[in-house]
Structure 1
Amino acid sequence: MSNPVVAERYALALYQVAKEQNLSDKIDEELRAIKKVLVQNPGFISLLQSPKLSVVQKRNLIEQSLPNVSSPVTNTFMILADRHREDVLVEVAESYINHLNEERGIAEATVYSVRSLTADESKAISAVFAPKVGKQTLNIENIVDPNMLGGVKVRIGNRIFDGSLLGKLDRLGRQLTS
């Protein structure tokens, strides 16, 4: 079975448990934090995949690394370790977040800007771009890129809305050369 399918199954099971126990928001926060740490530290997953570690050692490592995490998340990660599926930890987190976002009408967005966005600017961007992708609101991650010169570039899924000055200059240059 391919990794996305495996990750989807575990994420869906975790999502259902979270809904039953009214822990959806807490687990969402935990998985976002865990995903961020795992992406920044890929060596942890490599360590968990090591054939030198027994399943018991892997379980202990997960338990020690995630001491304040809810039991559904810990148990899911333990099951993944038991079944030698440590490679899908990040995908499980992403899939869970996607399920919760879909239920709530939220889309994940990355906004590139010259400076950090204020809360009001984030709300305004969410109000403008969420309807364009059929969602109620956006969960915005702001990335500061001083090379843009001005404006913003919004990435939602595989759609990019480029309103940056650099993007406009690039489009103008292409028009002039064609």
Structure 2
Amino acid sequence: MLKAFKYRIYPTKAQTTKMERTLDLCRWTYNETLAYRKNSYESEGKSISKYETHNLLPKWKEDKPELKEVFSQILQNVQERVDLAFKAFFRRIKAGEKPGYPRFKGKGWYDSFTYPQMGFKLDNGLLELSKIGNIKIKLHRPIEGKIKRLTVRRTATGKWFACFSVEIEDQPKPPWKDGSLVGIDV
């Protein structure tokens, strides 16, 4: 079972600049991936898979060296987001709902990046993020289970949060929630 733990983080001004730069480069990658998939379908009539878009990243890093400032798995996760947006679009078409084609993200419309497997570490009240540095974190409660992924999110007010997705073992339901006990009010 997955559970989320959300904590406030306190980056320095330099770290905030790096994280905002990461968000901007993620937004660029999102828009480029979306444009590539859209153009490929319109010109050739063929759909591009998530793995084919992952193969574009090395070439994009040559053309745009700033992308090397971002941890590679973050960029792959951005392309997974595009893939999920297309899957949701086609699912809604199939279900007969209003589809809503995936949109390009404008400045300020991309507010989180995800470390899917690695590139982060918790150590003595600090959150170590690859290519960003050690950030102070307020661990107001302990993290239970095994950490699977980390999403760093910026709110509209400029605050930053770390959201850990954790895998924990299923806990059995208490006996009164499985329907074995019945209460009667007279």
- The answer to whether TM tops 0.5 is no
Larger relative CO (CA 8 A, sep 6+): 1 or 2?
A: 2
Kindly indicate which of the two structures has a greater share of residues assigned to helix. 1
Q: TM-score scaled by structure 2?
A: 0.30
Kindly indicate which of the two structures has a greater share of residues assigned to strand. 2
